[in-house]
Amino acid sequence: MARIALVTGGMGGLGEAVCMKMAALGYQVVTTYSPGNTKSTEWLSSMEQQGYKFYAYPCDVSDYDSAQQCIAQITKDLGPVDVLVNNAGITRDMTFKKMDKTAWDAVIRTNLDSVFNMTKPVCDGMSERGWGRIINISSVNGQKGAFGQTNYSAAKAGMHGFTKALALEVARRGVTVNTISPGYIGTKMVMAIPQEVLDSKIIPQIPMARLGKPEEVAGLVAYLASDEAAFLTGANIAINGGQHMY
Ligand code: NDP
């Protein structure tokens, strides 16, 4: 039976590439989308036209109850989740001086609370079955901080602590927990940055002098999900064109 890979935010730039890669490797791919997303049917049929059969469920990953209901439904319909990719995320960039509680809460809830909300209902089952993969998509800006991103940097840095602590707890159960920290990847989240800022401020910081490709991150997700990566846990893997090394 094909392993089930659940990718949150699979209709976004990075998530879509991860869904495609995992499907190409034979996983049964399930994704989530925000309950307010009106383009989910369109996305599913466009994927189907390209030969991909994905399952998609509405889920507000920032909401605990929504996440529990979503996982319960997936388990009922398809079976237990073997690979969880916590990918859904948002930014609400502004300097700390301007940051209000709404912008802070939205980013912490969507990027960090979501990791708890989604991991909680799948982790015990993975441990009981003796196999599982939890892959958290963080960011270079969680490693080094970024101007105008106190909320995002805090949420993404929080993922590293979560990863390391949970990795210890499930290490003997065949479950690995890892974080990937992408640098700037050419998705809609990054293309929302004005081109002049990309050209003058962002690209010059990247030794490879280009944005990353979603497929490059997807390849890393696929490796972490594989049996070959069984001894790799509690890690934070940077994929950023050399922008930040440690
Ligand atoms: P996109 O904005 O393209 O996609 C984000 C996805 O998250 C969307 O599919 C969106 O779904 C989903 N999402 C947002 N809020 C919620 C919510 N409350 N409940 C459920 N789903 C939600 O971003 P990217 O693909 O670029 O980013 C994916 C991840 O990678 C994020 O965590 C981001 O922080 C991280 N990252 C991205 C980098 C980049 O350069 N692009 C660099 C470093 C990290 P919907 O549209 O249905 O709301």
- State pLDDT tens for residues 125-158: 999 999 999 999 999 999 999 999 999 999 999 9
Q: Where are the domains of the chain?
A: 4-232
pTM score > 0.80 for this model?
A: yes
**What value, to the nearest 5°, has the Cα angle with vertex 97 and ends 93 and 100?**
65
Reduced DSSP (H G I as helix, E B as strand, rest coil) percent helix, strand, coil of the chain, to 5: 50, 15, 35
The single residue of 52, 152, 184, 246 carrying the catalytic annotation is: 152
pLDDT surpassing 90 at residue 189: no
pLDDT surpassing 90 at residue 193: no
φ and ψ at residue 7, rounded to 5 degrees: -115, 110
- 94 pLDDT band (50/70/90 cuts)? very high
**What value, to the nearest 5°, has the Cα angle with vertex 212 and ends 31 and 89?**
35
Is 32 a pocket residue for ligand 1 (Cβ < 6 Å)? yes
Residue nearest to atom 7 of ligand 1 (CA): 88
What's the CATH fold of domain 4-232?
Answer: Rossmann fold (3.40.50)
pLDDT of residue 130: 98
Which of 31, 90, 159 is the pocket-test mutation for ligand 1 (most atoms within 8 Å of CB)?
90
Q: How far is the CA of 13 from the centre of ligand 1 (A)?
A: 7
pLDDT of residue 227: 98
Lowest-confidence segment of 119-128, 184-193, 198-207 by average pLDDT: 184-193
- Structural contact between residues 203 and 169, judged by C-beta atoms closer than 8 angstroms: no
Is residue 33 among the annotated active site residues? no
Length of the chain: 246
Residue nearest to atom 36 of ligand 1 (CA): 139
Is 60 a pocket residue for ligand 1 (Cβ < 6 Å)? yes
Residue nearest to atom 39 of ligand 1 (CA): 185
Is 153 a pocket residue for ligand 1 (Cβ < 6 Å)? no
pLDDT of residue 182: 98
Which atom of ligand 1 is nearest to 89's Cα? 32
The string of pLDDT tens digits covering residues 223-235 is: 999 999 999 999 9
The string of pLDDT tens digits covering residues 1-58 is: 899 999 999 999 999 999 999 999 999 999 999 999 999 999 999 999 999 999 999 9
The string of pLDDT tens digits covering residues 48-82 is: 999 999 999 999 999 999 999 999 999 999 999 99
Which atom of ligand 1 is nearest to 62's Cα? 18
- 190 pLDDT band (50/70/90 cuts)? confident
pLDDT of residue 188: 83
pLDDT surpassing 90 at residue 100: yes
d(C-alpha 226, C-alpha 52), whole Å:
20
Residue burial 199-213, b: 16+ Cβ < 10 Å; e: rest: eeeeeeebeeeebbe
pLDDT of residue 105: 98
Which atom of ligand 1 is nearest to 60's Cα? 19
Q: In what order do the strands lie in the sheet with 55-58?
A: 55-58, 28-33, 4-7, 83-86, 132-137, 175-182, 236-239
pLDDT of residue 192: 85
Is 139 a pocket residue for ligand 1 (Cβ < 6 Å)? yes
- Structural contact between residues 86 and 178, judged by C-beta atoms closer than 8 angstroms: no
pLDDT of residue 46: 96
pLDDT surpassing 90 at residue 90: yes
Per the prediction, the chain carries an average pLDDT of 97
Is 16 a pocket residue for ligand 1 (Cβ < 6 Å)? no
Predicted complex ipTM exceeds 0.85: yes
d(C-alpha 102, C-alpha 8), whole Å:
22
Q: How far is the CA of 244 from the centre of ligand 1 (A)?
A: 21
